[in-house]
Structure 1
Amino acid sequence: MSFNAHPLLATVAGALLAALPTQAIAAEPCEGTPGTGKAKLEIIATDLKNAEGEVAFTVYPDDRSRFLAGGGKLARVRTKTIEPLTTACFWLPVGSYAVATYHDENADHDFNRTLFSIKEGFGFSNDAPTTLGLPSLKSARFELPASGKTIMIKTRYQR
């Protein structure tokens, strides 16, 4: 079926594409390389309050001892913040993962916090709860199927 044969369909499709934020449809290079047994994971950080700095997207393997641990990451991408949505993508083996993001507003590559407050926005896959501290791997874990997956992570700020 051709869009030329259906002008109404072409008009509706064009309007929908024009309404999407540019970053959400931009073709960003993915971390890693495609290959047998790998799938594309696209992550969209939502609710970013400004376009300052960058967003760090960190993928963790399905290993409780590595989740949110120093040196435990499987892969990380840092990309310029685009408000209100910023995206990153990864080529990963099919399997289970968890993702953490943070809005590094001052681009110092540090998640700025004090003993009593968090100064930069953050989020976790599955919108894992952080009411009583860091989320568990179980609450943030998701499956990456062979067909690939897009997940959205809401950015939370505590200011």
Structure 2
Amino acid sequence: MEARSVLIGMVFAGLAMAGTAHAQGAARALTDKECVGRKTATRLNVQVGALRSDAGNVVITVYPGDPSRFMAPRGKLARAKIKTSAPMSQACFFLPSPADAYAVVVYHDADGDGDLDRSPAGMPIEGYGFSNDAPTKFGAPSFDAVRFGVKPVGETTIRVKVRYPTK
């Protein structure tokens, strides 16, 4: 009986480790053809994690280093809308230069309507996130809270955790 318990424990431990390895290994290398923008020497890979479902799309927006363009109408540098693949989806972008700063905003458009749905009070009701996992209290974080640098040549990978509003 004790040997059986040990065997069952080993099986569950193996399954748990396999699940962890799958979750950690879920990110695959994206090809240049899958990247947004004209090919350059500077590439940004954005991994969006903590997605709750496969429903809808993940929208990833990259902003340039100019704080006045952050979340401004027509301020974006690039945007990708990809089919959601929970728990992690990703996209890559060719960047025009290894500027000192970029910013990323993501949202999980679970209903696929092309917008970040909001409550009557203006609060998001779909999942969202920012580079550096910048915290939000009342409104969007500042550009300084979300800005990050990239490698001058090659690929920089950032991870953004999606936050879902509490009901």
Q: TM-score range by the shorter chain?
A: 0.7 to 0.9
Partner of 2:67: 64
Task: Decide whether aligned partners of structure 1 residues 26 and 145 sit closer, same or farther in structure 2, where only a CA change above 3 A counts.
Answer: closer
Among 81, 92, 98, which residue is 1:94 paired with? Answer: 98
Aligned-pair identity (%): 43
Q: Does 1:24 align with 2:22?
A: no
Among 42, 45, 59, which residue is 2:45 paired with? Answer: 42
How many residue pairs align between the two structures? 142
Among 103, 108, 111, which residue is 2:108 paired with? Answer: 103
Partner of 2:3: none
Structure 1: gaps of 5 or more residues:
1-14
1:123-155 superposed Cα distances (whole Å, 9 cap, x missing partner):
000011111221000000000112321000000
- TM-score w.r.t. structure 1 length? 0.82
Give the superposition deviation at 1:119: 1.1
Q: Secondary structure at the match of 2:144?
A: helix
1:22-72 superposed Cα distances (whole Å, 9 cap, x missing partner):
75115351001323xx31100011000000000000000111111011111
Q: Secondary structure at the match of 1:144?
A: coil
**More strand by percentage:** 1
For residues 22 and 132 of structure 1, the distance between their equivalents in structure 2, rounded to whole angstroms, comes to 35
Task: Decide whether aligned partners of structure 1 residues 106 and 114 sit closer, same or farther in structure 2, where only a CA change above 3 A counts.
Answer: same
Q: Secondary structure at the match of 2:132?
A: helix
Partner of 2:124: 118
For residues 124 and 108 of structure 2, the distance between their equivalents in structure 1, rounded to whole angstroms, comes to 11
The structure that has the greater radius of gyration is: 2
Task: Decide whether aligned partners of structure 1 residues 22 and 105 sit closer, same or farther in structure 2, where only a CA change above 3 A counts.
Answer: farther
Amino acid at match of 1:144: V
For residues 72 and 22 of structure 1, the distance between their equivalents in structure 2, rounded to whole angstroms, comes to 34
1:101-136 superposed Cα distances (whole Å, 9 cap, x missing partner):
000001111111024332110000001111122100
Q: Which runs of 4+ in 1 moved over 4 A?
A: 20-23
**Pairing 1:113-152 to 2, within 5 Å after superposition:** 113-116=118-121, 117-146=123-152, 147-152=154-159
1:73-99 superposed Cα distances (whole Å, 9 cap, x missing partner):
110000000000000000102111000
- TM-score w.r.t. structure 2 length? 0.78
CA RMSD between the two structures? 2.0
Partner of 2:85: 82
For residues 82 and 131 of structure 1, the distance between their equivalents in structure 2, rounded to whole angstroms, comes to 28
Amino acid at match of 1:44: Q
